Each structure stands twice: as structure tokens, then as C-alpha cells.
Amino acid sequence: MVDVLDDLVEELDRLEVILSALPGSAWGAASAAPGWTVTDVVLHLAQSEEAVTATAAGRDVEFEARTGDATLDEVMDRLVRAERAAPAAVFARWRAARRASVATLRDADPHRPLRWAAAALRPRTLATTRLAEHWAHGLDITGPLGIPFPDTDRLRHIAWLAHATLPYAFSLAGEVPREVYCDLVGVTGSTWQFGPADAESRITGPAGAFCRVGAQRLAPDASGLHTSGPHAAAALRVLRTYAA
């Protein structure tokens, strides 16, 4: 728990440094998240960090209240549109929310699952999803603005999350969950393995590409990842690090 929380804080700190240096004009620029400006992305992150504190306190989480066939993305977009504000106010809101969220996760009972988007999650897993979401939206902010956002070995948490949620991803796609072994290489040359080593299906290659596919920021066929066995290609196709 301490390990993932420390890495989460480092990821949040990196994003805060980047946001602190943005010129005013950049906040209104289009991000890589469709329909959202940079300010909108930061507002979404603030709202979701506030949700961590709310669920730990036993309060309702707004994005759980879906109506009809609305997807989670549609609900999140509605929440952003309802609370748009000036960049300075949004940035201050996120800075406060991210600190409160981390403090909440540090104090939480590590064995008690907390209600979340698709299922209740233990604090360690919820912290991992927060790291994954901030990293993915960090890409959305920095990419269009041409700001460096290099991969780090913090991706090992995100790669773990992508592999751990494969059963959910397969089921969401209407497919039978399959065992898949992943052998991934981090930016510093570290290697991370997930899944049973005797699985017939295997995915190998750069962890950064694997995480981008899971974040839906990179198409599987453009990832350079190698798949072998009967189910690896399907696993890469359905891979995701967030709920639908």
C-alpha cells in the first residue's frame, strides 16, 4: 500500500508541476480527451479525487447514479459540463482534492473495499486506478501541448491493473475470460511478469505500449507488442484500465 501511494504522489506531483507552469492560453486548449479542454480534464480529475474521499466516508458518489443506457464516460462528461469554472478555480480544486484523496487512502482500512465505478475496490487497487487515470489524462494534456511526459517505472502499477482487470474486460466485450501471461519491459529495463507462466497465450513488449493500449490511447495493432497463443490478440483488443 505504501509503495503504490508513494508512486501515486510522485505522479500527482509531476502533473502539478506541469500544470503550474502552463500559460493561461493553454488551459483553454483542446486536450486529447474528445470534447474537453485542458481545464475540463483537470476538473474531471478533481471530481474523481473528491469521489475517493466521499466513498471512504460512506457518502454517495455522483457517477454511480447512471440513468438509462448512459455510459460512464457520458456521466463524467455531464458532470464536467455542469461544473465548469475558471482555470485558477479548477486548478485549486484539484490540488485540494488530490491531497485529501491521498490522505483518505492512507488512513483507509486496507481490507475494506470502497464503492467505485464498476465494483467495490480495496484502497490499494483504488489508489492504482487513480495513478492510472492521472497518467492517462497527463498524456491527454501534455501531448497536444508538446510538453515532455516521459514514461517512468510507475507504469508497473498500471500494467498490473490492466492485467488484473482482464476478466472484466473480456466479460464487458461479451467474451469468456482467458488466462494470459504478460512479460513486459519498463523504461529502465526492469521486467514485469503477470499471469501464469504456463499460459498458452502471451503478450510481450514495452510496458509503456501495454499501458497505453489499456488506457485506450494506443491501438493494439500500432503498439509493437507481440502476441502469441489462442487468446493474446483478443486480450490486447479488450484491454482496459478503467470502467465503462
Confidence of residue 58 (pLDDT cuts 50, 70, 90): very high
Alpha-carbon dihedral sign for residues 92, 47, 116, 4: negative
Location of C-alpha cell 492560453 = 25
Measured CA angle at 5 (ends 4, 6), to 5 deg: 90
Contact (Cβ atoms closer than 8 angstroms) between residue 84 and residue 36: no
- Assess whether pLDDT exceeds 70 at residue 149: yes
pLDDT at 65: 61
Write down the mean pLDDT value for the chain: 95
Q: What is the pLDDT of residues 64-73, one digit of tens each?
A: 666 667 888 9
C-alpha grid cell, residue 60: 454517495
Nearest Cα residue to 124 out of 157, 98, 156: 157
**137, burial (CB in 10 Å: exposed 0-12, middle 13-18, buried 19+):** buried
2-145, which class in CATH?
Answer: mainly alpha
Confidence of residue 222 (pLDDT cuts 50, 70, 90): very high
Q: What is the pTM of this model?
A: 0.96
Count other Cβ atoms within 10 Å, centred on residue 147: 13
Alpha carbons within 13 angstroms on the beta-carbon side of residue 31 total: 22
